[in-house]
Amino acid sequence: MMNCSRLRIANCIVKLELPLHSFLVDMNTDRPRVAIIDWGKQPIGDPSAGIECAVIGEAAEVRTYLCDGDSDFNKEILDASVLIIWHNIPITRQGIARLKRCKAIIRNGVGFDSITVPRRWPIMRLP
């Protein structure tokens, strides 16, 4: 079941209405990054992100990170084009304001009430 959900998320990133490259890349940046955020206290995701890497391929760099909230976001996460969030990791308005290139936040699981999402951003929930 978990692999099915992860596959659907990766496919959603690939099948966005805009071509993936134009959606993820700001012309002044290097290769786009998809940051998969897992809960530091009890990670359940695949550290290798095998499914996401297989689907997204060379279109973006896929990396995994362990965080307990947006205060743990490092420079790589803050520079990511897309965030995939596991668990109910709190993402605040202030945390979102620190994101430099992010175009979408995808919550992997049920609900997204732990994320304060700006109105102009696409919202995806894939249980």
SS3 per-residue string spanning 2-60: HHHHHHHHHHHHHCCCCCHHHHHCCCCCCCCEEEEEEECCCCCCCCCCHHHHHHHHHHC
Q: What is the pLDDT of residue 127?
A: 56
Q: What is the pLDDT of residue 113?
A: 63
Q: What is the pLDDT of residue 34?
A: 94
Q: How far apart are CA 109 and CA 124, in angstroms?
A: 10
Q: What is the CATH number of the domain that holds 91?
A: 3.40.50.720
Count up the domains in the chain and report the number.
1
Tokens 């896929």 sit at which residue?
Answer: 62
> pLDDT of the chain along its 127 residues, tens only?
455 566 666 666 655 443 444 444 444 457 899 999 988 888 777 888 888 898 888 889 999 999 999 999 999 999 999 998 887 788 888 998 899 998 888 887 766 666 766 656 666 655 5
77: left (phi over 0), alpha (psi -120 to 50) or beta: alpha
Q: What is the pLDDT of residue 124?
A: 60
Q: What is the pLDDT of residue 42?
A: 80
pTM for the whole structure:
0.73
Q: Which domain holds residue 57?
A: 2-126
